[in-house]
Structure 1
Amino acid sequence: MELFLWKLWLNFFVAFGIVMGGCLLAGIGATALLRPPSSTMMTIADNIKVWAMVAAVGGTIDPFRVIEANFAEGYLSPAFKQIVYFAGAFAGAQLAYELIRMICKGGMD
């Protein structure tokens, strides 16, 4: 159980870090190139979210194979774990996206 929770938190923070880091660096780059940083950051945040999830859970098709193989064999626990890992990565990427949106739009809508 401890390993499961560790991997879940790791996936969350890796996805969060990819979105936040990518957006903040894109904002710095946009500023250096005299472009509007907030619109650049929002575009990057929207585009990078899915890739942050994929990178957090392994970056390949293997997690999907684990779900498919175990589910087909009737072993629901490993498949459920992979789905929860994806949910954790999604939560991290979405939280970072929402924080970037709040930063760029000047607060909550």
Structure 2
Amino acid sequence: MQYFWAKAGLDFFIAFGVVLGGAMLAGIGSVLMLLPPVSMMLDTADRLKIWAIVAAVGGSIDPVRVIESNIAEGHLSPAAQQICFIIAAFLGAHLGTELVKLLCKGAA
């Protein structure tokens, strides 16, 4: 059970960090390229959201294979765990996107 919470927490924070870090670096890069940083940060956060989830849960199709193979064999617990990990990663990516929107709201 401790593994489950540790992995879910890491997936959350990895996805959160990918979105927040990517948006912040896009903002810095846009300033160096003389582009509007707020719009670049918002656009980057939205585009990175799905990739943050993929990166957090393993970066490949393996989590989907785990779900499929365990459901096919009748083992629902590992499949449910993988779905929970994906949900935790989604929440982290979504929170990161919302934080970027909140930070950019004051600058717009």
TM-score by length of 2: 0.97
The letter of the residue matching 1:75 is H
Q: Distance in 2 between matches of 1:24 and 1:48?
A: 12
Identity over the aligned pairs, expressed in percent? 56
Report runs of 4+ in structure 1 exceeding 2 Å deviation: none
Question: Shift of the alpha carbon at 1:14?
Answer: 0.3
1:13-32 equivalent positions in 2, closer than 5 A: 13-32=13-32
Amino acid aligned to 2:96: A
2 CA distance for matches of 1:72 and 1:37? Answer: 48
Shift of 1:101: 0.4
Aligned residues: 107
Counterpart of 1:25, as a letter, is L
Answering whether residue 2 of structure 2 is matched by residue 41 of structure 1, we say no
Q: What is the Cα deviation at residue 77 of structure 1?
A: 0.1
Query: What amino acid does structure 2 have at the position aligned with 1:61?
Result: I
Q: Could you list the per-position Cα deviations for residues 35-80 of structure 1 after superposition, in whole angstroms to 9, with x for gaps in the alignment?
A: 1000000110110000000000000100000000001111000000
Q: Is 1:58 the equivalent of 2:68?
A: no
Gaps of 5+ in 2: none
* Cα distance in 1 for residues equivalent to 2:29 and 2:60: 29
Residue matched to 1:77? 77
CA deviation map 1:12-43 (0-9, x unaligned): 00000000000000000001111100000011
Which residue of 2 is the match for residue 106 of structure 1?
A: 106
Q: Give TM-score, length-normalised by structure 1.
A: 0.96
Amino acid at match of 2:78: P
How far apart, in 2, do the equivalents of 1:98 and 1:62 lie?
28
Report the aligned-residue RMSD: 0.9
CA distance in 1 between counterparts of 2:94 and 2:76 reads 26
Instruction: Classify the secondary structure of the residue corresponding to 1:59.
Output: coil
Q: Which runs of 5+ in 1 are unaligned?
A: none
- The aligned amino acid for 1:90 is F
